[in-house]
Structure 1
Amino acid sequence: MSGPSPSPAPTAPPTGPFDELFAWGDRMRAAGETVVFDEAVGVWHVFGYEEAKHVVTAHETFSSEFPAPEEELSIFSTGNFALMDPPRHRKFRNLVGRAFTPRSVALLEPRVARLAEEILDEVPAGEVVDYMEVFASRLTTQVIAELLGMEPEHREKLRTWSDRLLSQNRTGLDVSPEVLAEIGRTAGEVDGFLRAEMRRRRETPGTDLISGLVGAEVDGERLSDEEIVGVVTLFVMGGHVTTTSLLTSAAQCLDEFPDVVGRLAADRSLLPSAIEEVVRYRPPFSRVVRRCAVDTELAGHRIPADAVVVVWLTSANFDGAVFASPERFDITRTPNPHLGYGHGVHFCLGAPLARMEARVALNALLDRGVRVTVQGDGAPREAYDPFGGILSLRSLPVVFEKGRTGGEA
């Protein structure tokens, strides 16, 4: 197998810079190639839904733990429970769960609603603007800052750091010395800032996430400073890109399917299922990676221990064996067992927050009768490399048109 290559138009509607990735998955599933070994890079690719679900669930066979990374990348691994297996994963998730609870998300909702209104008050109507800059990324950054209890003057740092670190995602497994140096510089800034924030919380605890992490204890165990830095970094990066991607993908989907806007305006009870369909249609992360812990078999293939297994969520979520008419954007799709937030023990802890932010943001737009119209042919000017793991735009030119909530002219 030679890996992804240009191909005819995919089954799903055009997705700009993601065409090639979606087409690759469509082509492999159509050929019955649900699990394939890529000799060029020495990894196994998984395209089928059932195989993907098995890999992300069977943690004893397909591990989330990898050898220790370079020192510059340690900020992504220390305290990052997404890269841990049970029982260590359970300990960290329980500790973080003490500070990040459904109640804390619910208490944050009124503030998120006010932030969305304040941001929309400043968005110019009828002008071409970058949706990421003026709305999606701005809202998610403010929400994470509120969650962390950061002072207003420091909040823009979150977006800067997240963009710097995430912009280094690459398709390959190797990281160049130049990229490592840039990551190291940014990681040092993040580490220094968060340690200062932790000292401040120990002196004056609050109700924010950092205060909760500093004080969290399970069976007499607390998180170390290094682990807290890692956990907060995971929230800053994962929470920012996941929710920003969700909000942006929602804008794209509603622009591509304008009749949906009218349906949502008329029946807000459809919003939760519409948001789930956005996550299926364009998952925030294109793939997850596992290490085969033992010799095993998957879809008739013998996979050796220590093999790297890449699960393509962008393919699994379009598997026709599980999703009827997967190319159709259906806001009433039930059931919708997509893998956009993972599955099993690694189901995204921040999913309730992302869902709440998306629901509040879309409600705010619908309340004002604002329709977001993508400019040009809909292709974004910038995007992360989808083969590198992040299925997210970095810019999207739009016009906020007031007084239009349906598909009418």
Structure 2
Amino acid sequence: MDQSVFRITKELSDLQKNSDLSLAVACRDIDVRNVRALIIGPHETPYEFGFFEFAFKFNKDYPRKSPQVTATTTNGGRCRFNPNIYANGRVCLSILGTWRGERGEEWSAAQGLESILLSIQSLMSSNPYENEPGFEDANEVSDKKNQKDYVQKIRHETLRISVIQRLEEYLQIGVDGTVTAPVANKDDYDLDMDVMEDESSIPFEPFKDLCKRRFLWYYDSYLAAVQKGKEEVKDGTTFCRMPFEGSSNTMEGKFNYTELEKRLRNIKKALDAETEGWATEGMAAKTKDTTVAVNLQRQYEQVVESFKRSDTPHNLELLDGNPFVWMLTYFGKPMTNLDGGLFRVRLCFSPRFPEEQPRIKFETRMFHHRISLDGTPCYFAPVSRREDAKSHIEAVIEALEEEQPPYDPRTLVHPEAFKLYWGSPEDRKMYNRRLRRSVNQSME
């Protein structure tokens, strides 16, 4: 195997196994030199939980020479998301040779795909205006206003372009939430995929399912960002142009948080409807005895048997006999704050499982830092066991019962519970009281 291909393949594999929730990479099997990468914007920055995509092109000299990197989340070349991330997609970094850096900051063969992604992610700071090379020499008074204005418009466009536009395209809905493209009749395609299309003719959307699931995680944070924006700037206000922005390399527009909120809510409705649609598709797949339906039925029976053998108190059943909708009854772990709780959890599987991962929701309300307000749990099933339904159940239970979880803002799915859990000792006591109250209510 070509040494550069071997190196790229290993780096891709390592990143895909990595537990870093803010990075994702993918490529077509036939084209390992062209890699797509996704960076999820860091917490407490104007980029928070945005979906920023980049294209990597590796030449035969890699790793002796750095790859070419292009930002593709640019609203068709009309949006510059950072002083160092241009509207035309150019990414200015010394390690890429696209910016003059200090001695020792240039590219070396010891670096790789992950180090480039982390370098780009570091540009997405709480005050990205500081990335502008002339920042140190700017007038202090006007400079502070520019910094504030720049943060405000990046927050707005992160929501509008990197989150809302992306999800609307995935879901084929317009600004008003209506379907913008015809949806194929479910009977028009074979759920077993017996007839394979030419791979190059299929749109390559490797992060589609990931972004949909993460949107459900971060939905309340997006709404909080909208509320913060509404308090800071009036709808209709024009974006201020920064001193470093040129005519074709800028971020133009007007604030309209009221519209963004409406579009976020429409996306949430569309995702919930899509999940509900899986149940109907699933029953059709069961009737046809498709491979996915047979596989999920078998997995369900195996999980039920494993519960019996392990004497676990949890119970599992199919909703209306549908192998695509599992109902889990979770019993709180004894001697913990969950002790005595009784929670109903719905697991919805796609007819395209495991390409589309299951969507899980607690139907019984629980105040927990890893469960969103609408009941969506934040959990991590092992990448190597994505097709194993049991691993998703185990991962959800592990997330609930973890006694000393590491602080990780990428798991922020319930803003209020998260803030209390990681706050002061008094905050933690309040969190525990709220959790116990929800456990007690679950038994009523």
Q: Is the radius of gyration larger for structure 1 or structure 2?
A: 2
TM bin (shorter chain):
under 0.3
TM-score normalized by the length of structure 1: 0.20
Structure number with higher relative contact order (C-alpha < 8 Å, ≥ 6 residues apart) = 1
TM-score normalized by the length of structure 2: 0.18
Structure with greater proportional helix content: 1
